[in-house]
Structure 1
Amino acid sequence: MPLETPARIVSELAARGYNAEREAITLLADAEDTDAALERALEAVPQDALKIEVSHVKRSLETDTGPASADPPSAAGTTPSSPPTEDPSVSTGNNTQTSTDSGGLDAVETEGGSRHIDPEQLVVDIAGDMTGESTGTGEYKDFVAVFRDRYERLSKKLRGRVNHRPTDALEALPGNEEAALVGMVSDIRSTASGHWLVELEDTNGTFPTLVMKDRKIADLVQELLLDEVIAVEGTLADDGGILFVDSLHFPDVPRTHEPSTADRPVKAALISDVHVGSQEFMADAWHRFADWLHTDDAEGVEYLLIAGDMVEGVGVYPDQDEELDVIDIYDQYERFSEYLKEVPGDMEIVMIPGNHDAVRLAEPQPAFDSELRDIMSAHDARFTSNPSTVTIEGVSVLMYHGVSLDEVIAELPDEKANYDEPHKAMYQLLKKRHVAPQYGGHTRLAPEEKDHLIIDEVPDIFHSGHVHKLGYGKYHNVLTINSGCWQAQTDFQKSVNIDPDAGFAPIVDLETLELTIRSFG
């Protein structure tokens, strides 16, 4: 039997609109005539099922006059999906299509198109997954460890730009000396004259720096957040007790960054914030999106990256129970799994959790636990932590759900960060080389021995969600995308003036890094 036979069977079934159990694939692959066995199995599938089960294959092989294959273990308890009695219309994302929420019924998987994915060509590598590596106990030493790790790693990115001296060495220098310091922002305040006093801390102590209000760099002070690491250069005062700042540097992404691209024509769909379980989940839009993925128009879309909030969750915000369509959190994931089955079975799917998901709220968030993975096992999706860097076909994608964007938008001026242009807030995180710089604010952060939220390597794509707004652009050649959501405006969102961008699917050509926005809302 050729090694590629199972992969070929999966691709052939997906092209015809079917998923299949692993045991069923093995049984077909072991048949004497694989192609004939596959055709007989498809004939044996009931009209109301789109998942090839072991029982279907066994039934077809029992009618074969050739050698019978050994029976694999039974897949008891599996419920087949229930499709319509005829092929549904295929949506390209531009037309409207009437569809209804399954309301707890099994999901529909569509046929259509001759798109083909070769599983042998799918290449995924995940870095930064901290699942199972949490060390924090909440003790004082954990906070010291995470801040020290942050300082040491980010300061290395800055020391090549300035002639850094530690704080205790600055204190020993005479006045009027030129000096530079790399430190963590421990305090920002304005003086009575309107100047900015920024206190920086390193592993040896703290030192005050002063940014004069009439200097061009004064605008940069408005971009600062507590606990981020920066570098400053300037001149010490006459008494040496303060540093007058002439220049300010962020760890930042180099302007010369050259992104990597794939070696073949292949695309990825980047979505987030599905929120299944909410009364406002847009089932129609999801069906149109899934239908489109089965068409020739979606040829080349072989990856689906979901940046958190698969479900609406329970108790996330006040009176949320009044807006739920599915009350039980596990039932929400069961429902999400049914919707996920509509996606072509040969697509590679990667998922990280968000703040509505059933994982710890504190970031970094570990990947979904084994119980939830079992519920969402239809596609053998890859589950990783929030954040993680997912490299597909050589293109690195930093996936971060985006809770800290609320804090960045609240703290910075509107022209630097706002909800209508969420990618600008993401630019700030790239500039600071950290996805959640401010500790102790509204973003829940877990103290660990290692700071898992640092952006060590420059990504080719930065993908986020959370704020339910669509935004995209490039920052120093990093394609930055906030992918909106699949949830219409809730009463809670109305109360906080959030008007979501729902039903959009950003599609990235990994060979060229060109971005196309598909609308299914």
Structure 2
Amino acid sequence: MPLEASARIVSELTSRGYNAEREAVTKLASADDPHATLERVVEELPADALVVQTDHVEAVLSATEADAKPTAGGQQSPATTENEDPSVSTGDRTADPTAVGGAAPVETGGSAGANRSVDPELRSLEIAGDMTGDSTGTGEYEDFVAVFRDRLEKLGSKLRGRVNHRPATAIQKMPGGGEVGMVGLVNDIRSTASGHWLIELEDATGTFPWLVMKDREYADLVEELLCDEVLAMEGTLADDSGIAFVDSMYFPDVPRTHKPSTADRHVQAALISDVHVGSQEFMHDAWNAFADWLHTAEAQHVEYLLIAGDMVEGVGVYPNQDEELDVVDIYEQYEVFNEYLKQVPGDIEIVMIPGNHDAVRLAEPQPGFDENLREIMSAHDSRIVSNPSTVTLEGVSVLMYHGVSLDEVIAELPEEKASYDDPHKAMFHLLKKRHVAPQFGGHTRLAPEEEDYLVMEEVPDIFHTGHVHKLGFGKYHNVLAINSGCWQSQTDFQKSVNIDPDAGFAPIVDLDTLDVTVQKFS
């Protein structure tokens, strides 16, 4: 019995609004004519049935055998009519859960084709850093002070052991010519008339200027700096003590000796983002192919699905967006997304974070969806957490962040250091700064809270982002960085800003080795 046949049967029953017992699917796939048998089972199901049970199939198979026995005239009764259409998709026809008049799919259970393990003793999933329900910011001045103090304290603690740190006010009182070190936030970056760089660091006591000479070997690091990131510098005070000449520069960074954790068994996670249901350019066929693939033997080890934001296209996100919408109501967009989510095998654990197109606040960190949206997106009891959050899968920590700040990194840094063609390289800079959105007041909207939820206090094993609609992955100091592309083909707006998306891809990570394979469905 081909495993693909079982997967197609599950998909067909799902499109008609039915779930099925594993043994029932097996018997259907083993029938002499699976297409006709499935059609007859559906016709004879009780009106209130939601699950195709084994006895339903057995009853039809018994009746079919009786019908096939020779009649008094010596002829066999045909099981199907000549013009009957096959009821199971062969790949040429994909069920669309948004089709008018079609039955909405119920949540699919474990795929008979995939045969994946669902032993709860083997799985573990933990969430850290979810600030949903813990937002305290009021927008007052004190909130801004608190979040930057917290950032400096958390990241400064990783740097003070590397330099002989002194507060800004203490440095101002030191005699000229001495060696000095400081940890602070980058308050300003500007070039001098001679081509040198002047960097102003700020700590809780004040500010102090540091001069980076253009001919020093680390001068090119200035091109990587963003305002508001935490940095450490060492150098020599000028004779008048009004400035320090930089001898060395340190980032919080990921230690080069970082050793990532791995799972104790062969298990995989699918990492996707930017589904954009509701857009006219949402790729229905690619998503359906992805969902079908998850029911096959090839995907039997995929037990986790992580979605890094932008489940729907949203409303009013960019100018004239309404002209590119297939579903114009935001709540209906989530209802349709939930129907697509039901196509995913029910024994896969799903974790989602919001993005800038979703119906949450734009300012980061973004709390998870409110109760109304959670009720709509109820398929498979998905975990819905804040952006960012850290998900630990069987010991492997995955930092999930939608990725709006990547626009800022790519805009501010030279093209050879960060570009849309290699989004993972822009992610490397966030790992180096140990912060997912360091610059305040630019493209990325940041919300002041009592603490900075955007700091990478712990080094993740995997860093997963989306947003830029480009596929890219690589390792930085043994941290696997993945930007997972999208499920939306190029829109008119994207054409106007020269975005050529990588759409219909699903990176699959082996959690026991952190190796990556990419499945293409477009």
Equivalent-residue separation in structure 2 for 1:227 and 1:363 (angstroms): 15
Aligned match of 2:348: 347
Question: In the superposition, relative to structure 1, how do residues 287 and 227 fare at CA in structure 2: closer, same or farther (>3 Å)?
Answer: same
Aligned match of 2:215: 214
Identical-pair percentage? 69
1:371 is displaced (CA, Å) by: 1.1
Equivalent-residue separation in structure 2 for 1:124 and 1:45 (angstroms): 41
Equivalent-residue separation in structure 1 for 2:116 and 2:245 (angstroms): 62
Structure 1 window deviating more from structure 2 (160-169 vs 226-235): it is: 160-169
Equivalent-residue separation in structure 1 for 2:186 and 2:406 (angstroms): 19
Equivalent-residue separation in structure 2 for 1:511 and 1:364 (angstroms): 30
1:354 is displaced (CA, Å) by: 0.3
1:158 counterpart letter in structure 2: L
What do residues 365-409 of structure 1 show as CA deviations (whole Å, max 9, x unaligned)? Answer: 001111111111111110100000000011000000000100110
Are 2:94 and 1:99 aligned?
A: yes
Question: In the superposition, relative to structure 1, how do residues 363 and 246 fare at CA in structure 2: closer, same or farther (>3 Å)?
Answer: same
Question: In the superposition, relative to structure 1, how do residues 314 and 45 fare at CA in structure 2: closer, same or farther (>3 Å)?
Answer: farther
Are 2:187 and 1:186 aligned?
A: yes
Aligned match of 1:118: 118
Are 2:346 and 1:338 aligned?
A: no
Find the residue that maps to 1:47 and give its secondary structure: helix
Question: In the superposition, relative to structure 1, how do residues 106 and 244 fare at CA in structure 2: closer, same or farther (>3 Å)?
Answer: farther
Aligned match of 1:135: 136
Are 2:315 and 1:320 aligned?
A: no
Equivalent-residue separation in structure 1 for 2:317 and 2:126 (angstroms): 32
Aligned match of 1:368: 369
Are 2:42 and 1:47 aligned?
A: yes
Contact 1:106–1:338 (8 Å) recurs in 2: no
Contact 1:162–1:180 (8 Å) recurs in 2: yes
Contact 1:308–1:352 (8 Å) recurs in 2: yes
User: Which stretches in structure 2 are left out of the alignment for 5+ residues?
Assistant: 1-5, 28-37, 57-84
2:276 counterpart letter in structure 1: H
What do residues 303-329 of structure 1 show as CA deviations (whole Å, max 9, x unaligned)? Answer: 000000000000000000000000000
Aligned match of 2:255: 254
1:99 is displaced (CA, Å) by: 3.5
What do residues 163-190 of structure 1 show as CA deviations (whole Å, max 9, x unaligned)? Answer: 1111111111111101111010000000
Q: Which one has the largest radius of gyration?
A: 2
Equivalent-residue separation in structure 2 for 1:257 and 1:315 (angstroms): 43
1:47 is displaced (CA, Å) by: 2.3
What do residues 403-426 of structure 1 show as CA deviations (whole Å, max 9, x unaligned)? Answer: 010011001111111100000110
Question: In the superposition, relative to structure 1, how do residues 377 and 205 fare at CA in structure 2: closer, same or farther (>3 Å)?
Answer: same
Contact 2:114–2:298 (8 Å) recurs in 1: no
Equivalent-residue separation in structure 2 for 1:489 and 1:299 (angstroms): 32
Equivalent-residue separation in structure 2 for 1:444 and 1:171 (angstroms): 34
Structure 1 vs Structure 2 CA RMSD: 3.1
Question: In the superposition, relative to structure 1, how do residues 44 and 420 fare at CA in structure 2: closer, same or farther (>3 Å)?
Answer: closer
1:382 counterpart letter in structure 2: R
Equivalent-residue separation in structure 1 for 2:398 and 2:282 (angstroms): 26
Aligned match of 1:69: none
Question: In the superposition, relative to structure 1, how do residues 235 and 300 fare at CA in structure 2: closer, same or farther (>3 Å)?
Answer: same
Contact 1:117–1:347 (8 Å) recurs in 2: no
Find the residue that maps to 1:88 and give its secondary structure: coil
Equivalences for residues 268-283 of structure 1 within 5 A: 268-283=269-284
Contact 2:149–2:204 (8 Å) recurs in 1: yes
2:374 counterpart letter in structure 1: R
Question: In the superposition, relative to structure 1, how do residues 222 and 49 fare at CA in structure 2: closer, same or farther (>3 Å)?
Answer: farther
1:55 is displaced (CA, Å) by: 6.6
Equivalent-residue separation in structure 2 for 1:49 and 1:354 (angstroms): 45
Equivalent-residue separation in structure 2 for 1:89 and 1:289 (angstroms): 15
Aligned match of 1:147: 148
Question: In the superposition, relative to structure 1, how do residues 275 and 119 fare at CA in structure 2: closer, same or farther (>3 Å)?
Answer: farther
Equivalent-residue separation in structure 1 for 2:362 and 2:417 (angstroms): 27
Find the residue that maps to 1:199 and give its secondary structure: strand
User: Which stretches in structure 1 are left out of the alignment for 5+ residues?
Assistant: 1-11, 29-33, 62-83, 91-96
Contact 1:270–1:483 (8 Å) recurs in 2: yes
Equivalent-residue separation in structure 1 for 2:424 and 2:51 (angstroms): 49
1:309 counterpart letter in structure 2: D
Equivalent-residue separation in structure 2 for 1:270 and 1:148 (angstroms): 34
Find the residue that maps to 1:280 and give its secondary structure: coil
How many residues were matched structurally? Answer: 469
1:117 is displaced (CA, Å) by: 2.6
Find the residue that maps to 2:379 and give its secondary structure: coil
Aligned match of 1:407: 408
Aligned match of 1:359: 360
Equivalent-residue separation in structure 1 for 2:43 and 2:202 (angstroms): 66
Aligned match of 1:447: 448
Are 2:248 and 1:242 aligned?
A: no
2:318 counterpart letter in structure 1: Y
Equivalent-residue separation in structure 2 for 1:373 and 1:149 (angstroms): 31
Aligned match of 2:230: 229
Find the residue that maps to 2:333 and give its secondary structure: helix
Question: In the superposition, relative to structure 1, how do residues 106 and 307 fare at CA in structure 2: closer, same or farther (>3 Å)?
Answer: farther
Are 2:491 and 1:496 aligned?
A: no
